[in-house]
Structure 1
Amino acid sequence: MQTWLSLGLRKRTVSKGSWENSQRGNRRSVRAAEPRTHYLPFSRNKNFVGREGVIAELQKLLFSHLASQRAALVGLGGVGKTQIALQLAHLAKNGSQSHQHYSVIWMPALSMASFEQACTRMIQVFDIEHADNEDPKETFKDFLSSEEAGKWFLIIDNADNMETLYGTTQEPGGIADFIPDCEHGCVLFTTRSREVAVTVAQTNVVELPGMNKKDARALLQSSLIQKEQMQDTVLADKLLDELAYLPLAITQASAYMKINKVSIKEYLRLLQNTDQDMVELLSVGFRDGTHYDAAQGAVVTTWIVSFKQIRALHEEAATLLSFAACLEPKAIPRALLPRLRSEQSMTRAIGTLCGYSFLSQREDGDMFDMHSLVHLATRRWNEDEDREEGIQQLALARIAEAFPTDDWENLTGAKMHVSWDTGLADACM
């Protein structure tokens, strides 16, 4: 169940004229509006651990005397972007940002409809007078743009879709049109898409990697009821290795263990049993008060949303993703990827996958790595979408082209890159 935190209400009137006057006087000092009003969807995550460096970097970008007005936090789905934003929001709410006091506002960017609903709610929370026929998005934008709003910190969460943010040729206009740019406000976007991050925040982009081993251990321990299980560090580390140090996978695993009274040893056995067991385990969502719904508490479900989004926006990138799942997830040669219409198309498709953190490019630029759990989830997606047979045929044709089978060394090289889990290795014999 979500907990909406709304504090310090008072009547506010914002007219169009007052907003325009405030725009002309933007560079004057902003009068502090007390008491502050806060709108947060979740209470503070008591199990939050680590990430000090990322939080410090975001604080510097948003709240220091050299601060920008916008920043973006980008990373793989499930890597912990929303939880970091939530931690930062509560720090700001409690007045720990350079002794400044901010109204802290949280708004989802899942769709224009959800954003408009949030604006309607904001008008109520901030007690803003408005006409019944006014667009709530415009009304709330005008309020934030006015000095009456005082200092504010706005989090735009799940800003993953360029079309939702900026509209399309057929339907121009999006959420970005209603996010004001003024000196007394700062905005943090969380997104899975590097394209979105760079577009909304220019150079003020913070990339979020996976957890280190120390923080992952701390997260697992804080999430368990039977904390004595962590005394077997070898077993705990094996579980974290299987979960690839991904925060959502760790909290998902601990939730499953708590609900089903399963030990780390038993959960690890299930996880390692078959790919089907692993996929099923990582598809089980949970509600913990820090996600919008249970589906967002499941790693596989979270990624499949992104897979579908990529396919809708960039079919060639989706093809590369499905193809890569037929290969071993580490050291994927660029030369082995299927040829696209042009080199520019290949660069853009690879950039899209790297932008979503589904592929990571090595320094030489000729090799790519794929997150092991992303690899598994993509194979499952291929099966569910009836793409597996077609993708495997494409993979076999490309491998045959790259490694002619009349040469034993070529055959050995081909088998090094083919994923044994897909059955393609046998086809290369």
Structure 2
Amino acid sequence: WLCIFDNADDKHVFLKDYIPSCNHGNVIITSRLTETSQISSPGCHIDFTDLARENAVELLLKHAHEESSDRNQDLAIKIVDAFNCHALAVSTAGAYIGTTPTCTLGNYLTHFDKRRSKILNYRIRTLDSYRLTVFDAFRLSFEKLSLPAQFLLQICACLHHTAIPLEIFTSAANFTGKDTSAVDLNPPTEA
């Protein structure tokens, strides 16, 4: 069995009360609290920190497919600082810039700020800065997708990351009644 405690950031919750005491099974705890490392087995604690600014800039430029010129470095610094150098938010922002023709390093924060204020006024007032910046960066990319693509992504999010049966897609395609002969649903063979 596997038990996952994600975002276990409430120091008033005693996690050991919820962990079965047996010699089999695994427990994964994600938390910003350093105290949670005290209940892990020796050598089983991994501490993730934010990227150094230089590495965050490099990651952003790589995902945005931009060269590392002085001007791009200056623009990238503003973006990574806005995300507090959180790796997931920075890479998502870079991917959005790299795949959106109207978005550049120079105007990304304007795109982001417009979306952020809409989201903040909507319903995400309780998220901490890390989850909010990652959510905002993901939301920008997600909203760029067509509605059918958004729906498909929401469904696929519930599936196993490697064992997705192709029959799901062939059945769905057949159900629509559309000609799918041009679509190759066979996985590529290894050479």
Q: Normalized per residue, which structure has more strand? A: 1
Question: Which TM-score band applies after superposition, normalised by the shorter structure?
Answer: 0.3 to 0.5
Bigger relative contact order (CA 8 A; separation at least 6): 1
